[in-house]
Each structure stands twice: as C-alpha cells, then as structure tokens.
Amino acid sequence: MTIDPQQKTSKFRWGEMDEDDDLDFLLPPKQVIGPDGNGLKTVIEYKFNDEGSKVKITTKSRVRKLASARLNKRAMERRSWPKFGDAANEDAAGSRLTMVSTEEILLERPRAPGTKADESKAAGDSLSQLGKGGGVLMVCRTCHKKGDHWTSKCPYKDLAAPADVFVDKPPTGETSTASAAPGTGKAAYVPPSMRAGADRSAGGSDMRRRNDENSVRVTNLSEDTREPDLMELFHPFGAVTRVYVAIDQKTGMSRGFGFVNFVSREDAQRAINKLNGYGYDNLILRVEWATPRPT
C-alpha cells in the first residue's frame, strides 16, 4: 500500500528520464474551443521547441458547416463513382464551378407573420389602410403606378425619371434651398437629382435617405447576433425595410450594434417602447431612434 504512490512518482521523475524521451506528458493538454457561432475554432496546443522551452501554439481556423445529408446505401455507393465527362479531368478549375454564396439569402416574407393580407392590423395603421383602399393615395411618383409601391421602393427609380410632372410635389425640408439653385443658374450644370421635378426622395441621396427613415438603432447586441436574428426580433412589430448589423471586417464579429428600418414610424415607436431594455442573449438591449427626432 505504501509503495504504490512511490512507484507512481518515480514514473514521473523527469530528471531520471533519457534525453530523447517524450516529455509531452508534462505539457498541459490540448484544448479545442469552438467552433463558435461564427465558425471560429480555436485549438491551443503546447509543445517544447528546440531550446527546450514551452511554447503555446494557438491555431484559429474557420469551420464552415455544409448541410449534412443522410445518404442511403446506394447513394453512398454512388459517392465513390469515378467522375466522368468534363468533370473527369478537372482539378482546380472544377472546384471553382461550385461556390458557396457569400451573401446570406433569406426567405423574405411579404408581411409580418400573424397578419393577413386583406385585414388591416390596427385601426391607426396608415400603411395597411392605404393598401386596402385600392392604394388611391399610394401613387408612385416615378412610374405613376397606383397602390403597388411607394416612390422610394419604385423598381424604376434608377431609370430616367419623367420630368415636368411633379408640379404639386409636396415641399420637403430641403426644397427651399435646393430648388432655388436650378431656378436661378440656368446655364450651370444641375445634376439630374437636383433638377426641378426630380424625385429627391429616391435619387442620388437614396443611401442617406434610406438610413434615416424611421431608423432604429439597436445597441448592446451580443456578438452572435446576426441580421436574421434582428429581423426575427423586430418584424413582429411591423414591416421592416432594412436590417443591418455592424460587422467588424477583420474578425467577422458583430460590433454590437445595428440598425432596423421600419416602413411606418408607429411600428418603429412600438418596437422601441417594447424592446428598449429587453433582455436578449444575456444582454440588455438599448433601442432608440437612430437620429434625434426633429421635434
């Protein structure tokens, strides 16, 4: 009984070991972390280098999961068939034929689940009422289609806009300054987006416009949160036009904030009321208007 521990320690007495003996058992065990939500897998290994000092090696690799398929026996057999035709003598060129989309494609739902097409969800919802009433008020200023889409959503907005038809265009905040310029300087070049009658809500300033239209900023997101998650979180409140999560280009990790744009301001306000301070993925979300409200 007393000899047993003695024997054990003697086994591990490194001083008595030969030079070329494997000392690996002295090292901490190999650690494999992940793959995490981003598919980032970290392997931490330890080994002795030539000088005999301990070195920690951290290997980070990205694991891409392909859809797993259960194959039956015949299908397994077919896997081992030799390639034929043009595929037989291809190597690198062949693998270039197939690639995984870099873009995340969603099954885009035409409306929020739980709502019906022909049923206005709330009495005060202007959008659904417009859509319901034959879209009389919803007239696209670019292509004059009634009730089909809003001007900002017009599929033809990038095409040549017909001029001289927007006499009764509702004045926007910037009209006073912008429309004065083309009126005075006739000879000077005026970009098409600034010309009288041009659709300013959809033209060149489209990017900026889009970002501040009923935009809601979501901060304190967890790193695993992706755009589809935000979409899932926000679309019960109403039609969402855009979801964006800031992603660090280097690490591919989320930077912890994002933006959600709603079609209607009421929906956005409701989302803010409901989700500000909401616990999501162990973090408490902060949801607010992206730009200070002009009041």
Partner 1 sequence: MRPILMKGHERPLTFLRYNRDGDMLFSCAKDHTPTLWYADNGQRHGTYRGHNGAVWCCDVSRDSSRLITGSADQTAKLWDVKTGKQLFSFKFSSPARSVDFSVGDKLAVITTDPFMERTSAIHVKRIADDPQDQVSDSVLVLENPEGRKRINRAVWGPLNQTIVSGGEDAILRIWDAETGKLLKETDKEVGHKQTITSLCKSADDSHFLTGSLDKTAKLWDMRTLTLIKTYTSGVPVNAVSMSPLLDHVVIGGGQDASAVTTTDHRAGNFEAKFYDKILQEEIGGVKGHFGPINALAFNPDGRSFSSGGEDGYVRLHHFDSDYFNIKI
Number of residues that bind partner 1 (CB under 8 A): 43
Compute the least distance from the CB of residue 121 to partner 1, in Å: 14
Query: Whose Cβ is closer to partner 1: residue 56's or residue 146's?
Result: 146
Q: Is 171 in the site for partner 1 (CB under 8 A)?
A: no
In whole angstroms, give the CA distance from residue 70 to residue 224.
28
Between the alpha carbon of residue 57 and those of residues 22, 196, 260, the distances in Å are: 18, 65, 41
Interacting residue with partner 1 among 5, 15, 114, 279 (CB under 8 A): 114
Compute the least distance from the CB of residue 108 to partner 1, in Å: 5
Compute the least distance from the CB of residue 235 to partner 1, in Å: 12
Interacting residue with partner 1 among 159, 165, 180, 181 (CB under 8 A): 159
Query: Whose Cβ is closer to partner 1: residue 97's or residue 207's?
Result: 97
Between the alpha carbon of residue 136 and those of residues 139, 166, 189, the distances in Å are: 7, 17, 36
Residue type at position 139: V
Burial class, 280, CB count within 10 angstroms (exposed 0-12 / middle 13-18 / buried 19+): middle
Interacting residue with partner 1 among 3, 13, 20, 88 (CB under 8 A): 88
Interacting residue with partner 1 among 174, 212, 232, 248 (CB under 8 A): 232
In whole angstroms, give the CA distance from residue 155 to residue 143.
9
Q: Is 17 in the site for partner 1 (CB under 8 A)?
A: no
In whole angstroms, give the CA distance from residue 144 to residue 229.
36
Interacting residue with partner 1 among 1, 3, 99, 123 (CB under 8 A): 99
Q: Is 90 in the site for partner 1 (CB under 8 A)?
A: yes
Interacting residue with partner 1 among 9, 49, 53, 101 (CB under 8 A): 101
Q: Is 189 in the site for partner 1 (CB under 8 A)?
A: no
Q: Is 87 in the site for partner 1 (CB under 8 A)?
A: yes
Residue type at position 98: T
Between the alpha carbon of residue 155 and those of residues 141, 162, 210, 265, 272, the distances in Å are: 12, 14, 15, 23, 30
Q: Is 113 in the site for partner 1 (CB under 8 A)?
A: yes
95: Cα within 13 Å, side-chain hemisphere: 2
Angle 250-255-256 from CA coordinates, rounded to 5° = 160
From the list 229, 239, 237, the residue with the least C-alpha distance to 270 is 237
Between the alpha carbon of residue 71 and those of residues 67, 68, 75, 83, the distances in Å are: 12, 9, 6, 19
Query: Whose Cβ is closer to partner 1: residue 117's or residue 123's?
Result: 117
Q: Which stretch binds partner 1 (CB under 8 A): 22-30, 52-60, 87-95, 242-250?
A: 87-95
Q: Is 63 in the site for partner 1 (CB under 8 A)?
A: no
Interacting residue with partner 1 among 3, 107, 136, 207 (CB under 8 A): 107
Q: Is 74 in the site for partner 1 (CB under 8 A)?
A: yes
Residue carrying structure tokens 């009389």: 136
Using CB under 8 A, list all residues that contact partner 1. Answer: 66-69, 71-72, 74-75, 78-79, 81, 83-88, 90, 94-95, 97-110, 113-114, 117, 155-156, 158-159, 228, 232
